[in-house]
Amino acid sequence: MAGPEDACGPVRFEEVEHTADRALRIYGTTWEGFLVNAAHGLNSILAPSPSRVAGPVAKEVDLEAIDRESLLVAWLSELAYWAEVESLVFDRFDFIDLTPEKVRASIRGGVAERLGRNVKAVTYHGLAIIETSSGFSATVVFDV
């Protein structure tokens, strides 16, 4: 699939129909771009309007998993946790160490004026990250 591109191109993620929860199809030409686009997709559920009230907030994230799918779930779950606990929504990501099983990053964002929805869980339902010559894609289902 040559059409979708990561943060440099027009399609980073798109919502797909799902019976009970919310689902996003995530794209990225690189593993880093894929994780950034997944975070932006989550943000579209958490805080549909990008306005912030508090000054910049920075956190360090250090996650390990057994595979890409588990790392993606851990990554999005970490971001959803900060939204739930402190209304933090992150939009800038500096990856320090990134492999298919590990992410260490400095993330920055701010407090959302209002969260659109809370994400109770990032699920493994039908989750499979597809890697092709044009990059990565996956459908992620969120329990909201």
- Give domain status of residue 92, yes or no: yes
- Give domain status of residue 47, yes or no: yes
- Please choose, from the candidates 22, 25, 44, the residue with its C-alpha nearest in 3D space to the C-alpha of residue 112: 44
Q: What is the pLDDT of residue 5?
A: 52
Enter the pTM of the model: 0.85
End-to-end CA distance of the chain: 30
Range of the domain at 122: 13-143
Query: What's 59-83 look like in SS3?
Result: EEEEEECCCHHHHHHHHHHHHHHHH
Q: What is the pLDDT of residue 10?
A: 63
CATH label of the domain that carries residue 31: 3.55.10.10
- Give domain status of residue 135, yes or no: yes
Q: Distance between CA atoms of 95 and 53, rounded to whole angstroms?
A: 25
Q: Distance between CA atoms of 137 and 75, rounded to whole angstroms?
A: 16
Q: What is the pLDDT of residue 38?
A: 98
Q: Distance between CA atoms of 70 and 116, rounded to whole angstroms?
A: 26
Task: Provide block-wise average pLDDT over 10 residues at a time, the chain (144 residues).
Answer: 51 71 93 97 82 76 98 98 92 96 96 85 94 95 90
- Give domain status of residue 44, yes or no: yes
Number of domains the chain contains = 1
- In this structure, what DSSP letter does residue 6 have? S
> Which burial class, exposed, middle or buried, applies to 49 when counting CB atoms under 10 A from its CB (0-12, 13-18, 19+)?
exposed
Question: 90 is written with which tokens?
Answer: 């992150």
Q: What is the pLDDT of residue 14?
A: 79
